[in-house]
């Protein structure tokens, strides 16, 4: 039987502020994730019931809603942050060991809002809804969006725009930045409480480990490596991998300036604020390691009572990062080529193909799709001599090993046909903002079945014009 709990509030009070979401002047449902709400058993058959569940109806003196405190390294610089425009309305316990935070993004001001207004814009919330749902259907661990609710308020950004609230679920919003907050602003007891809470909630199997903080560090490191390899698999660029946006649950979240790569260029950056390419596609592995190192620093006093020994433990764990990354990355990329073993000479298939794709400006998604899917390949193909030679050699290898049909079956579950192409996302958002929901609904529908190439939807596989994509910029979730 599902119910709402608030176990996070058992942490010392510096970890949160109890705060109620702002009332909405004129709420209106723009999007409803009916299927997900039904799975969760959340009442959604009428607006008043849903608003009341989300604590957006009349003020509720009993409400235990709260904003989380956290810090983080933003573009390399440490700073105090916290939920400045997000409020958790509770933990939805669906079954034993299945607990989700329900958070309202754009829920109103909190004591962590600094100069911000605590609000979110309609367009940015539509974008988060679309991309997070796409990630879910790509089988990548992610927060999920329950709805987009227009607030009926206008929000001041560069221009005055419509406001919205996005209720979303996640196994937990605890981030590396929460640990950095505890380390810098709390006591050893606070840090211990956070560590124990996180283990109990997310990784209970670590409770009995001799050094559970070290086990947590290692587990979070591996789950981040696995997650980011999945991003690389589908060409996803998160865009703002600050430590406050790294969930220790291993879920992707905070869909701000993210976007998917088109023509393959490992240096691709879409985020308007990432001027030095810190979070470029190819840097995601290095940044992952950098972020995990910040996590280790925050955990240091729990790794060992003597600092020197604690540093050694941290170094030993992080010292395994590169090898785990290389194994997981090539395992992931080789599956995109229908190859299930991993060894150094096989990795060259990947490296060589990526080099050709980069130099010949080939589309990342469509190149892999065409290799594994004859239906798609017949509609589009790239045939430079260099690529044809690579392809012939690879085909020979496949025929002499696993066989083409088995390889294709593997490739078809690892290579999406449909990703949210930047131009399609922009079109859907533009139209939706003008009151035409059709392009958004159609795109969402296509993205719900990303691994099955369906010729009816062929146009959704078209990359954007190269001029469009080179100039395309994304913005933080404002
Ligand atoms: P994000 O870019 O969404 O990861 O947010 C970074 C930090 O800025 C977090 O502490 C947010 O809570 C805060 N923030 C972002 N937008 C707003 C806003 N409109 N009002 C208050 N705080 C905000
Ligand atoms: Mg964030």
The atom number, within ligand 1, closest to the CA of 70 reads 10
Ligand nearest to the CA of 112: 1
Ligand nearest to the CA of 82: 1
Ligand nearest to the CA of 478: 1
Query: Is residue 194 within 8 Å of residue 179, measured between CB atoms?
Result: yes
Catalytic: which of 83, 190, 244, 469? 244
pLDDT beneath 70, residues of the chain: 1, 477-478
Work out the burial of residue 432: count CB atoms within 10 Å of its CB; fewer than 13 is exposed, 13-18 middle, 19 or more buried.
buried
The atom number, within ligand 1, closest to the CA of 117 reads 20
Ligand nearest to the CA of 181: 1
Angle, helices 212-234 vs 321-335, to 10°: value is 30
CA 120 – ligand 1 centroid, Å? 9
CA 208 – ligand 2 centroid, Å? 32
pLDDT at residue 477, as a whole number: 62
The atom number, within ligand 1, closest to the CA of 477 reads 3
- Pull the structure tokens for residue 6: 């608030």
The atom number, within ligand 1, closest to the CA of 118 reads 20
Rounded-to-10 torsion of CA 233, 234, 238, 244: -50
| Mutation choice for ligand 1 from 85, 104, 244, CB with most ligand atoms inside 8 A | 85
Tens digits of residue pLDDT in 127-151:
999 999 999 999 999 999 999 999 9
Looking up tokens 């607030």 gives 151
pLDDT at residue 1, as a whole number: 60
Residues whose beta carbon lies within 6 Å of some atom of ligand 1: 81-85, 112-113, 116-119, 244-245, 254, 256, 476-477
Looking up tokens 């954007």 gives 464
CA 161 – ligand 2 centroid, Å? 21
210 C-beta neighbours (distance < 10 Å), count: 6
Query: Is residue 174 within 8 Å of residue 180, measured between CB atoms?
Result: no
Taking CA atoms only, the protein residue closest to ligand 1 atom 22 is 84
Taking CA atoms only, the protein residue closest to ligand 1 atom 6 is 81
Ligand nearest to the CA of 86: 1
CA 256 – ligand 2 centroid, Å? 8
Q: What residues does 108 pair with on adjacent strands?
A: none
Domain boundaries along the sequence of the chain = 3-170
Query: Is residue 273 within 8 Å of residue 476, measured between CB atoms?
Result: yes
The atom number, within ligand 1, closest to the CA of 106 reads 19
Buried b (16+ CB within 10 A) or exposed e, 36-64: bbeebebebeeeeebbebbbbbeeeeebb
Taking CA atoms only, the protein residue closest to ligand 1 atom 11 is 84
Buried b (16+ CB within 10 A) or exposed e, 326-353: eebbbebbbbbbbbeebeeebbebbeeb
Say which residues have a Cβ less than 8 Å from residue 333's Cβ, sequence separation at least 6: 232, 233, 350
Q: What distance in Å separates the CA atoms of residue 413 and residue 452, rounded to the nearest whole number?
A: 8
pLDDT at residue 199, as a whole number: 98
pLDDT at residue 478, as a whole number: 61
| Mutation choice for ligand 1 from 75, 80, 83, 84, CB with most ligand atoms inside 8 A | 84
Taking CA atoms only, the protein residue closest to ligand 1 atom 12 is 84
Q: What distance in Å separates the CA atoms of residue 115 and residue 22, rounded to the nearest whole number?
A: 17
Query: Is residue 300 within 8 Å of residue 317, measured between CB atoms?
Result: no
Q: pTM above 0.95?
A: yes
167 C-beta neighbours (distance < 10 Å), count: 27
CA 85 – ligand 1 centroid, Å? 6
322 labelled catalytic: no
CA distances from 285 to 23, 141, 365, 428 (A): 41, 17, 20, 31
CA 380 – ligand 1 centroid, Å? 43
Tens digits of residue pLDDT in 361-373:
999 999 999 999 9
* Angle at the Cα of 142 from the Cα atoms of 136 and 147, rounded to 5 degrees: 75
Largest CA distance in the chain: 71
Query: Is residue 199 within 8 Å of residue 241, measured between CB atoms?
Result: no
The atom number, within ligand 1, closest to the CA of 86 reads 12
CA 3 – ligand 2 centroid, Å? 27
pLDDT at residue 33, as a whole number: 97
Length of the chain in terms of residues written? 478
* Three-state secondary structure string covering the chain: CCEEECHHHHCCHHHEEECCCCCCCCCEEEEECHHHHHHHCCCCCCHHHHHHHCCCCCCCCCCCCEEECCEEEECCEEEECCCCCEEEEEEEEEECCEEEEEEEECCCCCCCCCCCCCCEEHHHHHHHHHHHHHHHHCCCCECEECEEEEEEEEEECCCEEEEEEEEEEECCCCEHHHHHHHHHHCCHHHHHHHHHHHHHHHCHHHCCCCCHHHHHHHHHHHHHHHHHHHHHHHCEECCCCCHHHCECCCCECCCCCCEECCECCCCCCCECCCCCCCCCHHHHHHHHHHHHHHHHHHHHHHHCCCHHHHHHHHHHHHCCHHHHHHHHHHHHHHHCCCCCCCCHHHHHHHHHHHHHHHHCCCEHHHHHHHHHCHHHHHHCCCCCHHHHHHHHHHHHHHHHCCCHHHHHHHHHHHCCCCCCCHHHHHHHHHHHHCCCCHHHHHHHHHHCCCCCCCHHHHHHHCCCCHHHHHHCCECCCC
CA 434 – ligand 1 centroid, Å? 26
Taking CA atoms only, the protein residue closest to ligand 1 atom 23 is 84
């Amino acid at each position: 039987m599902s119910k709402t709990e608030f176990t996070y509030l058992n942490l010392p009070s510096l970890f949160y502020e109890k705060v109620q979401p702002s009332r909405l002047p004129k709420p209106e449902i723009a999007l409803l994730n009916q299927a997900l709400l039904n799975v969760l058993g959340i009442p959604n058959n009428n607006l008043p019931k849903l608003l009341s569940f989300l604590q957006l109806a009349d003020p509720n003196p009993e409400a235990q809603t709260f904003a989380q405190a956290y810090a983080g390294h933003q573009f390399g610089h440490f700073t105090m942050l916290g939920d400045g425009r997000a409020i958790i309305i509770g933990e939805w316990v669906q079954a034993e060991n299945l607990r989700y935070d329900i958070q309202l993004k754009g829920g109103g001001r909190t004591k962590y809002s600094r100069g911000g207004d605590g609000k979110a814009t309609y367009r940015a919330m539509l974008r988060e809804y679309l991309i997070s749902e796409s990630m879910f259907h790509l089988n990548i661990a992610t927060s999920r969006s329950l709805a987009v609710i227009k607030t009926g308020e206008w929000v001041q950004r560069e221009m005055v725009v419509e406001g919205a609230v996005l209720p979303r679920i996640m196994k937990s919003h605890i981030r590396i930045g929460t640990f950095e907050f505890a380390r810098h602003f709390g006591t050893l007891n606070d840090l211990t409480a956070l560590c124990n809470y996180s283990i109990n909630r997310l990784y209970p199997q670590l409770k009995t480990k001799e050094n559970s903080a070290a086990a947590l560090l290692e587990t979070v490191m591996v789950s981040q490596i696995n997650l980011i390899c999945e991003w690389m698999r589908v060409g996803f660029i998160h865009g703002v991998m600050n430590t406050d946006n790294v969930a220790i649950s291993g879920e992707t979240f905070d869909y701000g300036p993210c976007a998917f790569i088109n023509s393959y260029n490992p240096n691709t950056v879409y985020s308007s604020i990432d001027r030095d390419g810190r979070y470029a596609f190819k840097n995601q592995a290095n940044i992952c390691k950098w972020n995990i190192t910040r996590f280790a620093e925050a955990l240091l006093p729990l790794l060992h009572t003597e600092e020197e020994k604690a540093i050694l433990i941290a170094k030993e764990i992080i010292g395994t990062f590169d090898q785990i990354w290389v194994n997981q990355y090539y395992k992931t990329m080789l599956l995109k080529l229908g190859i299930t073993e991993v060894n150094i000479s096989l990795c060259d298939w990947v490296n060589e193909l990526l080099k050709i794709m980069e130099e010949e400006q080939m589309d990342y998604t469509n190149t892999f799709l065409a290799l594994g899917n004859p239906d798609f390949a017949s509609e589009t193909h790239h045939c430079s001599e260099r690529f044809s030679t690579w392809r012939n050699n690879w085909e020979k290898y496949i025929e002499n090993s696993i066989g083409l049909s088995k390889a294709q079956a593997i490739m078809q579950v690892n290579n999406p046909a449909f990703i949210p192409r930047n131009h399609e996302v922009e079109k859907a958002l533009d139209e939706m903002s003008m009151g035409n929901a059709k392009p958004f609904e159609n795109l969402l529908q296509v993205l719900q079945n990303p691994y099955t190439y369906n010729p009816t939807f062929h146009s959704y596989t078209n990359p954007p014009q190269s001029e469009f994509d080179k100039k395309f910029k994304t913005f933080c979730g404002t």
